């Protein structure tokens, strides 16, 4: 993808530690992304992940967004804070991706991370 910039991957133990801390099970595609890249930016998208960039840290971003939007499933985690009108992209453990507005309205936009990145 144009403008692709990624970090270093994270081992399985590191991914499992983050899952445990958030109380989630990452979708297989998100786990593979974390293990390969840790976190990444590309073509206007900034995906959350595991690495040194705090505003992209999946733990911090998910916790902050959970405080702002109530009644979302606890198993969801943030893959991208779009920074536009409070919209946030969340993923569930099966891989589906949802755009969620500040009022908590969720719309499924993709079946998996790859499909989301093509939007």
The class (CATH top level) of 5-117 is: alpha beta
The single-letter DSSP state of residue 57 is B
Give pTM, 2 decimals. Answer: 0.95
Q: With contact defined as beta carbons under 8 Å apart, do 48 and 80 qualify? A: yes
pLDDT at 44: 86
pLDDT at 2: 79
Q: What is the mean pLDDT of each run of 10 residues along the chain (119 residues)?
A: 89 98 98 97 94 95 95 97 96 98 97 95
In sequence order, which residues have a C-beta less than 8 Å from that of residue 37 and are 6 or more positions away? 6, 7, 8, 9, 49
pLDDT at 61: 98
pLDDT at 109: 98
Q: With contact defined as beta carbons under 8 Å apart, do 25 and 1 qualify? A: no
The pair of structure tokens assigned to 26 is 């990452």
pLDDT at 43: 86
Q: Are strands 77-81 and 5-6 parallel, antiparallel or unpaired?
A: unpaired
């Amino acid at each position: 993808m144009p403008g692709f910039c990624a970090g270093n991957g994270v081992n399985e133990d590191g991914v499992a530690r983050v899952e445990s801390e958030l109380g989630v099970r990452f979708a297989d595609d998100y786990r593979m992304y974390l293990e390969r890249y840790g976190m990444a930016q590309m073509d206007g998208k900034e995906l959350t992940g595991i690495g040194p960039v705090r505003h992209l840290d999946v733990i911090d971003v998910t916790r902050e967004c959970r405080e702002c939007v109530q009644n979302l499933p606890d198993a969801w985690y943030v893959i991208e804070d779009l920074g536009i009108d409070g919209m946030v992209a969340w993923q569930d453990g099966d891989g589906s991706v949802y755009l969620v507005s500040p009022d908590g309205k969720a719309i499924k936009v993709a079946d998996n991370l790859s499909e989301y990145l093509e939007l």
